[in-house]
Amino acid sequence: MITFIKETTFDFVGKRKSFYLLSVILVALGLLALIQIARGGGNLGIDFAGGAAVQLKFDSPIQIDAARRALESGGIKDAELQEVVSENTLIIRMKARDITEKNTRTEIKEIFSSAFSGNTFTIESSTEIGPTIGKKLQGDAINAIFFSLVLIIAYIAFRFEFRFGIAAAIATFHDVFVVLGIFFLMNKEITLLVVTALLTIAGYSLNDTVVIFDRIRENLKGRRKESFESVINRSINDNLSRTLITSLTTFLALLALYFFGGEVVHDFSLAMIIGVLIGTYSSWFIASSLLVSWHQGKKATTKGKATKMLKGAKRSA
């Protein structure tokens, strides 16, 4: 394996309380975003907030930027556009709050007939998504994220130990909530594609965490004389080069997708970029540090019980 960094000795768990504080703030923002989304707040896409979608088929190719300018000139400013180049098809999606009293189908037909008079088109379909469907999709999206994380706990607990499963699940919840909170703070639109990105981030973060946990388990067996904190730090440093190479290559690919992938995948790739950064951070500073906190808590509890037993024995004597 290519070694990017050799024999590092960074103290990842030494400053864990400071990173805990930072993460608590970020996760709190994510929880606030989730509450607002559940109440219908935030910048929800038409899948969640309701709206309309109109599909047009043109005789000749049409530039998506020109179509967006035409819609904005006609008063439709926040529409989502998706182009199927091979079929000269354009899909226009509008939120419920952006739909005027005028019939949507008629309004779009007038706008494009005026802007592209030399390019004949037909309206292939026109559908509406009501608030009831939007609420159901919100519930389904939340359930998908929740149950996937529950299964993560079960898998890690089976693969390693129960404490590893809890730490991995907390770190994965952390990553999902942080990305959601940042998107909410940036007022980015929350769509089904963003939910897909959140689930992908959960899987990516889990993979990174499992690799480090596997090294921790190996080192716990081979370095019994070292303190638990030293073993954790040693394990993270052992995998530091691998993690950096993996994260960097993924980050570069997502960066290319963000700048050159087009409007449709723009928010998806942005969510993934943030997720890769947060996932790398959590696998270094959160997931492994939680194992240290768990170990210290268990050690303190055992010591407390032993002290009580000793005091009881003295009183009996």
Total domains, the chain: 2
pLDDT score recorded for residue 205: 86
Residues 210 and 85 in one domain: no
Rounded Cα distance, 73 and 76, in Å? 7
Question: Residue 13 pLDDT more than 70?
Answer: yes
Residues 119 and 222 in one domain: no
Give the CATH number of the domain where residue 140 resides.
1.20.1640.10
Neighbours of 234 (CB within 10 A): 15
Give the pLDDT confidence of 153-199 residue by residue, as tens digits. 777 777 777 788 888 888 988 999 999 999 999 988 888 888 889 88
Residues 280 and 163 in one domain: yes
Residues 208 and 241 in one domain: yes
pLDDT score recorded for residue 312: 57
From 41-55, 71-85, 90-104, the region with the lowest mean pLDDT: 90-104
Q: Within a domain: residue 184? A: yes
Residues 77 and 157 in one domain: no
Residues 60 and 204 in one domain: no
pLDDT score recorded for residue 141: 73
Q: Within a domain: residue 10? A: no
The pair of three-digit structure tokens given for residue 270, joined into one six-digit string: 């942005």
Neighbours of 46 (CB within 10 A): 26
Mean pLDDT on 203-212: 86
Q: Within a domain: residue 312? A: no
Phi and psi torsions of 51, nearest 5°: 165, -150
Closest of 99, 90, 97, 100 to residue 66, by C-alpha: 90
Q: Which of 129, 152, 183 is the last residue of a domain?
A: 129
Percentage above 90 pLDDT, the chain: 19
Residue 93: helix, strand or coil by DSSP? strand
Residues 90 and 62 in one domain: yes
Entry pTM: 0.79
Q: Which residue has the higher pLDDT, 271 or 262?
A: 271
Give the pLDDT confidence of 276-310 residue by residue, as tens digits. 999 999 999 999 899 888 888 776 665 555 556 55
Residues 160 and 87 in one domain: no
Q: Within a domain: residue 251? A: yes
Rounded Cα distance, 182 and 281, in Å? 15
Residues 258 and 176 in one domain: yes
Q: Within a domain: residue 209? A: yes
Q: Within a domain: residue 46? A: no
| Full domain range(s) for residue 59 | 51-129
Residues 282 and 190 in one domain: yes
Residues 32 and 140 in one domain: yes
Give the CATH number of the domain where residue 113 resides.
3.30.70.100
